[in-house]
Amino acid sequence: MRKSYPSDISRDQFEQIRELLESARKKTRPRQVDLYDVFCAVLYLLKSGCQWRMLPSDFPKWRTVHHYFSLWSEKPEDKDSLLEQALKKSGWRSAY
């Protein structure tokens, strides 16, 4: 179990966006990481502005988080990216 950070959302909030985030990846093999931890790592990065490699070690590896961030940030024509949709739906607010 990892440490809790001020940028985290609750598991209940995450359950509201789980399907949306899971839709970005084709199911080829079982997922090795907890998407909740990956999403909270992205929130930590957005809130703190830290460098990828400075992500606390209790989150998944920074390259894994970066991969999901890139995947979720792809912007289809005339639509918000999955990350933007998830942030809005989860009610998460950045300090900026």
Longest CA span, the chain: 39
> For the chain, how many structural domains are there in total?
1
Q: Which domain holds residue 74?
A: 11-90
Q: Does the pLDDT of residue 89 top 50, yes or no?
A: yes
Residue 6 lies in a domain: no
Amino acid of residue 2: R
Label residue 59 by pLDDT band (50, 70, 90). Answer: very high
Give the global pTM. Answer: 0.89
Is residue 54 assigned to a domain? Answer: yes
| Structural domain contains residue 66 | yes
The per-residue b/e assignment along 18-50, b for 16 or more CB within 10 angstroms, e otherwise, is eeebeeeeeeeeeeeeebbbbbbbbbbbbbeee
Per residue in 8-53, pLDDT tens?
Answer: 999 999 999 999 999 887 777 788 899 999 999 999 999 999 999 9
How far, in Å, CA of 93 to CA of 96, rounded? 8
Residue 86 has pLDDT above 90, yes or no: yes
